[in-house]
Structure 1
């Protein structure tokens, strides 16, 4: 009998939560087969069987385990059980084939009866539901064997949208244990508010040129690179150029020192099933548009599948978050400590704008930059955001960071 213990998963992590057993107690497992999912304060990871044998679970789902605690045991001396299903299969097939022709008419005759028995409603109730276009699934039957009565349909019509069988004025509470990831998110958000001099500055960007470029080149881009041309690559490139011009926005405070980064590791906020995570695109300043888009898709997919590693979420010098995908028009994002700034993207909305003395409808997006005022002054924060706006409204500048004519004239 061997013990499977919780392995070390990070320098600062001392405990994990057993989220789900993927194998049941008493199941035979193969070596290296995944047997359960564990969740630390930063990521979800899997535990593998160290040997083949019969599984004996020790911890339960929802238990909090310390590093080194026994999660389960495996009896490696147990023999692999043999399945008798293949041997019995031919006989079952022979029995099925013999009465096949005779049973066909009976099956056809029984079909209407079976369909009729599925309708668990009185004729009057059926007529009302058909007339009022009410789905039977939305009505809770109070008759014998759950049969829907006329009064049930009338009650459903009087209270549309109410969950069947749920009291109208329910006052039930549902306690649920907070996950390690949610605890970490809560702690870090409060820490960011309490330990930084956070301030937010706003601007807006005209997305006309970017949307025109996407409309013209999106099919060619997808065909050549295998990924969609989204907005994130434009924003990431613009931020990388602006971060190199305003280095304080790409720095952080370490005690009495300020650490300036000569590279841009961009954290992308992603809404995962278990909470907000911020995987990192490393050296984004050196990546092409298609490489950025491919990396965003890779990290977002891993986040949704709870497959992100701690290394993929560690570090980052600046964060971009997109509340626009949820319909947010304006927000003040909270800094992802120990970073000093975060850019908030928002919903693109058509608005009337004064262009050369005329009113035109333009696709506009509000931008918000939250920053730590201890290290970033107003001039730097506003200058950074204005530079990002300039680069996005003139995407040609993303190629070399400046106007081609000015580059030619060395101005």
Structure 2
């Protein structure tokens, strides 16, 4: 029995998506609930699984095609693997065009491989096929492009001049921007164009927190089953500071200023597809261990591409940590409609004057970017100073002083 494979029903905030990867090809057997195709939206990657045991009968929407919510993207043949063999064999039969290619000695290409070859001006006969009966797959064409080191010319606009390059010289590779990265780019540009963004800096002595982690790490792991990191301290310090400075925990909606009576803190996570910001909700009610567990959970889901839209919706404040990549100082860009974002950076030992003496201390630069339409400079500076004081004397977080 044939079943339609449709794109998932997208949330209201998502208009359309793109077919990212077909994990199964026509004729390939798959088990019930096995992943068969990924649909990438401008926020998350949605997975489509097999409705039953059977085979992929036909692919209607190829990789890179745009799809709407609930649109037909393929057809599925139900039945056990043994029963589905005839359908699989049938789907593997070459099309009329492929038969003609075989008769003329030309390479037989899958639809996705043909499209990629045409886009990159690749001669199919120069590509070695690894598919069934020597068929050239999309992966074969991509490997050929990568291995040529510039022999294959990237597609250019009609008005651009054609430049011949010698073999192996000045290689270029053109890759379409993913929906997620395009969405990130648009939001960042919008933030810079619409907000009166300003950044203030300070520095914090990380020695007290480092000593505390060293002293209690083993006990913390034994009790909670997770390591005590820096991010939970920064999240708790930010939470307390947000309660003291409500304007930093607010957002702008048209001509209205919306003050939030709760603290939902987004934690920026870098993935292969781009930067995502899952939200740790109600941080005022969470302990350090709860925050650490939530951050680890989100980090794992982000790397696996399994974050849901609900995980990234909302948020009243954001923390980003460029220090894990070695950044010493930076100016983070706002995450609209939030009015502020805290940037953490690399811990660097520096000579500091302490009580008239020079000491070598592990220091970190902090950056707070804020929307000057909502937050005055005085509030921004005091907010950052409050975070600095709580981190340099963690007891302040417990005592609320």
Q: TM class by shorter-chain length?
A: 0.7 to 0.9
Alpha-carbon separation, structure 2, partners of 1:171 and 1:64: 32
Contact between 1:52 and 1:74, CA under 8 Å: does it hold in 2?
no
1:285-314 deviation digits (Å, cap 9, x = unpaired) = 110000001111000111111110000011
Alpha-carbon distance in 2 for matches of 1:29, 1:82:
12
Give the match's secondary structure for 2:263: coil
The answer (yes or no) to whether the contact 2:53–2:80 under 8 Å persists in 1 is no
Cα deviations across residues 128-171 of structure 1 (Å, max 9, x unaligned)?
xxxxxxxxxxxxxxxxxxxxxxxxxxxxxxxxxxx999689722
Report which of the two structures shows the higher radius of gyration computed on alpha carbons: 1
Matched length: 323
Instruction: Output the TM-score relative to the length of structure 2.
Output: 0.77
Corresponding residue of 2:4: 3
Hey, what's the Cα distance between the residues in 1 that align with 2:289 and 2:211? 18
Moved over 4 A (4+): 163-169
Q: What SS is found at the alignment partner of 2:47?
A: strand
For residue 294 of structure 1, what is the aligned residue in structure 2? 293
Shift of 1:11: 0.7
CA distance in 2, matches of 1:72, 1:363: 57
- Cα deviation for residue 20 of structure 1 reads 1.2
Q: CA deviation at 1:6?
A: 1.0
Q: Distance in 1 between matches of 2:237 and 2:295?
A: 16
CA distance in 2, matches of 1:217, 1:304: 29
Q: Does 1:201 align with 2:203?
A: no
Indicate conservation of the 8 Å contact 1:263/1:283, yes or no.
yes
The whole-number CA distance in structure 2 between the counterparts of 1:83 and 1:25 is: 12
Structure 2 runs not aligned, ≥5 long:
86-145, 150-165
Superposition map of 1:307-322 within 5 A: 307-322=306-321
Distance 1:375 1:61, change over 3 A: same
2:54 and 2:84 in contact (8 A); partners too: no
Q: Which consecutive unaligned segments of at least 5 residues does structure 1 have?
A: 85-162, 403-411
**Deviation of 1:53 (Å):** 3.0
Change (3 A) 1:221 1:192: same
Mapped partners of 1:291, 1:262: distance in 2: 21
1:392 and 1:49, CA in 2 relative to 1: closer, same or farther beyond 3 A?
same
Which residue number corresponds to residue 394 of structure 1?
393
Give the match for residue 105 of structure 1: none
Q: Taking structure 1 as reference, are residues 386 and 172 closer, same or farther at Cα in structure 2, changes over 3 Å only?
A: same
Cα deviation, residue 196, structure 1: 0.4
When the two chains are superposed, the root-mean-square deviation of aligned CA atoms in Å is: 2.0
